[in-house]
Amino acid sequence: MGLEKNNIKEQVSKVTSYKYIIAVVLFLGSIIFFDENSIITHQQNKQRLQELLQQKEYYKERIKADKQKLKDLNSGMEELEKFAREQYYMSKPGEDVFIVVEEKKK
């Protein structure tokens, strides 16, 4: 009888310790994979943030270039005519426009 009580106590303590281990594993699993702020979601958000920061820099440079172009266009009629000729192939009456296309070398 004494052995049976010890054996039962050992089994109860093993099951109890497994309960805690299982509970901890389930808790960590829910935090890592299923939580709203999981590690996976955190990494995805971090990557998205880097992409957005790169886009921000691109658009800052684009805005700077566009402001410079606008400043050049507003500087005078000659600049406006030059832009119209180069970008839209416009010409004055009586002028001929020749477009030279360079072939890319392979």
Decide if 53 is inside a domain.
yes
- For residue 14, being part of any structural domain is answered with yes
- State the residue range of the domain holding 82: 49-91
Please report the pLDDT score of residue 46 as a whole number: 95
- The reported pTM is 0.54
The verdict on 56 and 80 lying in the same domain is: yes
Express each pLDDT in 77-102 by its tens digit: 888 888 888 888 888 788 777 778 88
- Between 11 and 75, the higher pLDDT residue: 75
Has residue 11 been placed in a domain?
Answer: yes
What mean pLDDT comes out for the span 56-85? 90
Number of domains in the chain: 2
More confident call, 95 vs 67: 67
Residue 27 lies in a domain: yes
Rounded Cα gap, residues 45 and 37, in angstroms:
10
pLDDT score of 3? 58
Per-residue pLDDT at 68: 92
66 part of a folded domain: yes
Query: Does residue 57 sit in the same domain as residue 29?
Result: no
What's the average model confidence in pLDDT over 64-80?
89
Is 7 part of any domain?
Answer: yes
Is the residue at 28 inside a domain?
yes
Residue 100 belongs to some domain of the structure: no
